[in-house]
A and B are shown apart, each in its own frame.
Chain A
């Protein structure tokens, strides 16, 4: 399009000339309108809808504070620990930047977990938003990688041994495992080589992927439009003249001012932690991590940071007994359930084949391998949510008692697993973690059945209340 064909910008006062010049060379006004001033968001967003913009805010915060930390941090096994203390003591406001970053890591997960829980409550992953959900899950995976790589950098005992344990998980993969673990570390143990490559991943590789995925997440969202607490599609009731959904408001200024309020509340809570309890009771900064990494001294109790503990609990819960008495009958029953439910012969045969392979595996491979597999599945299973949920309605408001009970039980299991993951193992706690693990997986694997059985109320045509 020739520069002169686009109509001039008229609504920007003294900047009309400049904006017109830019707009004729770059889709400035079009982008502004389609993503902000004319992106029509449902007007009934509630509390849970703050956490998407808050997660974005924390992402920016982490990148900005991270840039400043990089200016003084030394990715060198001999200097890393002391360089963090140098930042804490001698760099002007260094302690503040560092605490913003370390607290930001935990709050990133708090925001993302609540954001995902919102999706679970209101069925935000359902058609046509499957790709929004999948991009979101990829963001979650990147975030886990980012947190894991970043946690090694302070080079404390927990950094070191946490990385050692997690990288060793890859060593559990049959055949290629041990070589894979060496390839990841770049050494036979976590060492300077590992620290350097984790630094590279943490400061450039993963953040680039994160930013690209966040872009894709928002583009996909703006293509299909936001869901809302009622789960009905606002595009079904539009103004006959303008085509704008009746139950919508333009994102800017309505949600920009609302989210500004949300960010302010967030900053107050966040600042209380940063300035008054930066260790977060040992959950955000662990006491053991104030001891420099020592490859010769294994701490008695190694626990990952709180946001990984539910999956870590699942890993530890997978004992030989669990494989024999829970996984084995579980796979047989689940395969039977699918074969009984579907009519397709090919699918039935495929399910039977997979079940047989798994059962053979249960009796030939070490329980630890299955622990690693279960831990992986416990994260990856979220990808399948859009297809597991078979309820006719999206929102919890119109779903029946089975869904409500299932979500409640799942949340309890998630918290129990998370709590147990921070503690040392005892036989009683292992049993509790095994119950939690069983509940966790039943929530997902049985969802196609229980979500279909549930008695749902009809979804309204228009959004209700506020």
Chain B
């Protein structure tokens, strides 16, 4: 008896790949643009498409198991896909938001606490001296302000 080769049901894997790309593309790419950063709608769209493709693959694996493969592996891949999406949202809407409330951070109208720290060349830089020194910019001879950017580091 000749065994017919079953269709690989690639759409399952394509769907999973779309979900994976959707989850991994946010930080290095879509978070760089204002329109796709605050609400990761492109990534959400990829999740919907990926889930849809996996749904089609699963449906035919179960409805026509003699033609399409993937009843078992498809279920596993689909669960993995849902887990990836779940982790994406857990990260974006919970883990990344676990920040200190910084209730005593200096407020608008208050004087910024002065400090002296080392720059990348090992020079001592004092905020008040920085404010008093010229910027060297052609359009302005004095410092009109300073932007302090605190960042997490460890890059």
Q: Is A bound to B?
A: no
